Structures are given as structure tokens and as C-alpha cells.
Structure 1
Amino acid sequence: MNRTLQQIHSAFSEACATGWLHAVDIDSGAEVNANADGAVVTASVHKLCLLLALHQQAEQGLLDLTEQVECATDGRAAGPTGLAVMLDPVRISLRDAAYLMMAVSDNAAAEVILERVGLDAVNAATTRLGLTHTRAVHTFAHTLATIREDVGPVGAPALADPRVIARLRALDPARTNRSTPRDMTRLLCALWRDEACSPEGCAAIRRLLGLQVWPHRMAAGFPFDDVHVAGKTGSLPTVRNEVGVIEYPDGGRYAIAVFTRAVNPAATLPSVDAVIGTTARLAVDALRAGSVTTAASTTRLP
């Protein structure tokens, strides 16, 4: 186990990133713990919590997943994908908006759902599962707004300045949407065991996680046709995250949460994206080799 933690530690260091990781065998409970209880900024990973709240409200009869909602062009949340970049008004069902929110991390689709569900419901959903360190503080649009406010009139070029990065509220777990790697793997385990909501709801959530299009983070560590990766990424300046479940053809299934903060503020850092897959693979290999126990060690990464 110590060797695995050393390898994970080294991988994060070589990528010039701080890392937090938790991996657990969903069926045996064996775990790999690398600062799994550290508070982290969730960024778009929190869309998974919103998706859970959406399905719980549907089960309670508070909404219909086929309900049509409007996404006007005025006030539409910013983002690089999905409804966020479309030029015309859109009418879409809640469940199809959920697909865009998860598959391409569409901020505008997330805001449409959040307006219908509410932040209180998101926090109620995570509290119900005992995720005591997980909290939704802001909408996704508000999180981006705090970045614009904190950066000031210079705009995006200021994000190259470490002093500007240091003052961003969106990067402070105490002041933004937050969780821990252990909370996130607990949520994933509940989804894969049909405990987070109804079996039908859990299956629908698992399906959407499996439709995520990004192959450059966790999936990069598992380049096999017969290994299935289902996950949700999250990104903010210097932040790159992914939580997900890796399923092997022999029935092995592993919940993993990897959160990173890069030293370099550049928007494109392939080495940090890749280290999410590298460290996830190291953890899963250790779990599959039986070299860890349910009382795993903890290491604090640099």
C-alpha cells in the first residue's frame, strides 16, 4: 500500500499539481486513501449532486422528467458547450437538459435544471446520503460571476497572475461548492448499489455518467475496449477534477474521486489532465491486486 501511495504522490508531483484521491472497491470496501478527507472545490463535479436531486424530486412527484423548460438567450449561463453556446431560444425536457449537463458539462443546461430544483434540494439530497462535507453554496452561473468580480476589469488575462488566482472565492472550498473525495466515492457507491434513489433513478444517472464525452482525464488511464468508465469532470482556473466508476469485465467495480490544483494557471495543461487517469489507474491496480485493506493509509500530498 505504501508503494501505491508513493507512486500516486510522485505522479502528482511530476505533474506540478496538488492532489486528493479516494478509490474504493464498491463490493469489498477496500480503499486507497490519499488525503481523501481534504476539502476540495467541486466545480462541475457538483452537477452530479444536482442530477441526484433532480431524480429524487421526480420520485417524490415534485416534477416530471419529461417536463419542457425554456432556455432563453437573455441571461443564459456562460460556457463552452451545449445550450451555453447556442444562439437561439431552446425548449427542452428536464431529462434531456440533464444529458447535456452531464455529457458535455453544459452550464446553461445545469442552470435550467437548478432553477427548477433549487439549491436547497441539492443540499438535502447529499445530506440524506450522509455526505456531511458536501455543500452547494452557489449556482454554477454565480460561481462564474464571482470569478469575473474577483478578477476585475483586466479580465481573463489577469488569471495568469498568481496573486489574482489566490483571491478567487471560487477556488476556496470554504466559500464555494465543496466536498471531499471520500464523500464523492460514497455517492458513487450509493448510485452503483441502487441506494441513492430508486433503482430506476440510479440506472438513469449511471447511464448519463457513461455518456460523458471527455476521454482525457480518468478514462485516459483505462484505454481498454472492455473496461467501462463513467464519470463527471469539473474545471476552474488551476482546478481539474473527475469522479467516476471503473467497471471491469470480471465484475470488478471501483469508485474513484480525483481532485487537483495545478501550480501553472494555464488553461491547457495536458499533464495535469493525464495525472487524473494515471493516479486512478494506480489506485485501481492496487485494489485489484488485493494489496490494500479496508483500513487504508492516508498521505498528504504536496
Structure 2
Amino acid sequence: MINTLTRIREAFDAAGVTGWLHAVDIDSGAEVNAGSDHPVVTASVHKLCLLVALHELAVEGRFDLTEQAECLPTDRSSGPIGIAAMLDPVRMSLRDAAYLMMAVSDNAAAGLLLDRIGLDAVNATTSRLGLHHTHATHTFRQLLATIREDAGPGGAQALADPYVIARLRSLDPTRTNRSTPRDMTRLLSAVWRDEACTPEHCAAIRRLLGLQVWPHRMASGFPFDDIHVSGKTGSLPTVRNEVGVIEYPDGGRYAVAVFTRAANTAATLPLADAVIGTTARIAVDALRTL
């Protein structure tokens, strides 16, 4: 295991990032711990917590997931994809909004759902599941607003300045949405073991995680047709994250959470994206040889 941790650290270093990872065999409990209890900013990974809370409330009968909701152009979180990029009013079910939130990380769809259930419900769900280091401080709309405020008059271009990056509240786990790698693998394990809510709703959550369209992070480490990767990414300036479950044809299933911070402020860093898949693969290979 020492060699495994060395390989993970060397991979993070080669990609120019600081990284924290936790991987666990969902059935045996065997784990790889590379900074698994370090506080991290979740970014859009926190949409997984929102999704579980939504389904928990549906189980309690407080929401019908087929209920229709309208999202107007004047009341949307910003973003380049999904509802956020659309020009006209959109009407869809809550479960279809959840699909967009997870598959393409649609901030407007997440905002629509948060408007319905609130941050308190999300935090109540993570607390119930024993995720004691996980907390939602901001809605996704509020989170983006803090970045605009902290960037100042320079706008998005200022985010290339390391001094501006250093003052962003969104990158400080004590002042924004946060968790730890271990908390996230605990949540994923609960979903895969049908413990997060009812089996029917856990299956629905797993389905949505399996529909994520991004192949450039965790999935890049498992380029095989018979291995299934389900996950949720999260991105902010210098932050690239993904949490997910890797399922092998022999029945092996592994929850992995990788959180990274890059030294380079560039928005496009292929090595920083790919190292999430590289380190996830190193960790899962180690678990499969125990």
C-alpha cells in the first residue's frame, strides 16, 4: 500500500496539482487513503448531495418527482450548458431537472431544485447519513456570485491572477460548500448499498450518475467497454474534482473520490483532468489485488 500511495502522489505531482483521494471496496470495506480526511471544496460534486436529498424528500411524500416546474430566463443560475444556456422559458419535471443537473452539471437545473427543497434539507440529509464534514453553505447561484464579487472589476479575466485566486471564498473549505474524500465515498457506498434511501430511489440515483457525459476525468482511467464508471464532476478556478463508482464485470465495485487544486490558473489543463482517472485507477487496481 505504501507503493500505491507513492504512485498516487507522484502522479499528482507530475500533473502539477495537489490532490486528495479516498477509494473503498464497497463490499469488503478495504480502502486506499491518500489524504481522505482533508477538507475540500466540493464545487458541483455537492449536486450529488442535493440529488440524494431530493429523493429522500420524495420518499417522504413531500415531492412528486414528476411534478412540473418552470424556469424563466430571468431567474436562472449562469452557465454555458443546459437550461442555463437556453433563451426561452423551460418547463420540465423535477426528475428531468435532476438529470440535467447530474449529466451535464447544469447550474440552472440545480437552482430550480434547490429553490424547491432548500439548503437546510440538503444539510439534513448529509447529517443523517453521517457525513459530518459535509456542509452546503451556498446555493450554486450564490457560489457563482461570490466568485464575481471576489474577482472584482477585472471580471473573469482576473481569475488568471494568483492573487485574485487566493482571495476567492469559493476555494476556502471554511467559507463555502465542503466535504472530505472519505465523506463522499461513504455517500456513494450508501447509494450503491441501497442505504441512502429506498432501493427504488437509490437505483434512480445510480442511473443518473451513470449518465454523466464527461469522459475526461475519472472515466479516462478505465477505458474498457465492460467497466462501468458512474460519477459527478466539480470544477472551479484551479479546482478539478470527481467522485464516482467503478463497477467491474466480476461484480467488484469501488467508490472513489478525487479532489485536486492546480498551481496553474489556466482554465484548460488536460493533465490535471486526466490525473483524476490515473490516480483512481491506481487506487482501484490496489484494492483488486488485496
With structure 1 as the length reference, what TM-score do the two structures score?
A: 0.96
Structure 2: distance between partners of 1:83 and 1:224: 32
Q: Which amino acid aligns with 1:221?
A: G
2:241 alignment partner, SS class: strand
Aligned 1:258-277 pairs, distance under 5 A:
258-277=258-277
Q: Identical aligned pairs, as a percentage? A: 77
Give the C-alpha shift of residue 260 in structure 1: 0.2
Q: Which amino acid aligns with 2:49?
A: C
Give the C-alpha shift of residue 118 in structure 1: 0.6
Give the match for residue 196 of structure 1.
196
Give the C-alpha shift of residue 76 in structure 1: 1.0
Give the match for residue 144 of structure 1.
144
Structure 1: distance between partners of 2:138 and 2:159: 21
Structure 2: distance between partners of 1:80 and 1:45: 17
Give the match for residue 112 of structure 2.
112
Structure 1: distance between partners of 2:29 and 2:47: 25
Give the C-alpha shift of residue 75 in structure 1: 2.6
1:118 alignment partner, SS class: helix
Structure 2: distance between partners of 1:154 and 1:123: 34
With structure 2 as the length reference, what TM-score do the two structures score?
A: 1.00
Count matched residues.
290
Query: Cα deviations across residues 128-158 of structure 1 (Å, max 9, x unaligned)?
Result: 0000000000000100000000000110111
Q: Which amino acid aligns with 1:29?
A: G
Name which structure has the greater RCO, CA cutoff 8 Å, separation 6+: 1
Structure 1: distance between partners of 2:125 and 2:114: 13
Structure 2: distance between partners of 1:239 and 1:79: 17
Structure 2: distance between partners of 1:130 and 1:76: 32
1:105 alignment partner, SS class: coil
Structure 2: distance between partners of 1:236 and 1:229: 22
Structure 2: distance between partners of 1:106 and 1:30: 34
Q: Which amino acid aligns with 1:19?
A: G
Aligned 1:139-288 pairs, distance under 5 A:
139-288=139-288
Aligned 1:15-26 pairs, distance under 5 A:
15-26=15-26
Higher helix share: 2
Give the match for residue 299 of structure 1.
none
Structure 2: distance between partners of 1:77 and 1:92: 16
Q: Which runs of 5+ in 2 are unaligned?
A: none
Structure 2: distance between partners of 1:157 and 1:73: 25
Q: Does 1:133 pair with 2:142?
A: no
Give the match for residue 123 of structure 2.
123
Structure 2: distance between partners of 1:72 and 1:170: 26
Q: Please report the RMSD computed on the Cα atoms of aligned residues, expressed in angstroms.
A: 0.4
Give the match for residue 295 of structure 1.
none
Query: Cα deviations across residues 20-40 of structure 1 (Å, max 9, x unaligned)?
Result: 000000000000000000000
1:260 alignment partner, SS class: strand
Give the C-alpha shift of residue 97 in structure 1: 0.1
1:91 alignment partner, SS class: strand
Structure 1: distance between partners of 2:8 and 2:228: 22
Give the match for residue 35 of structure 1.
35
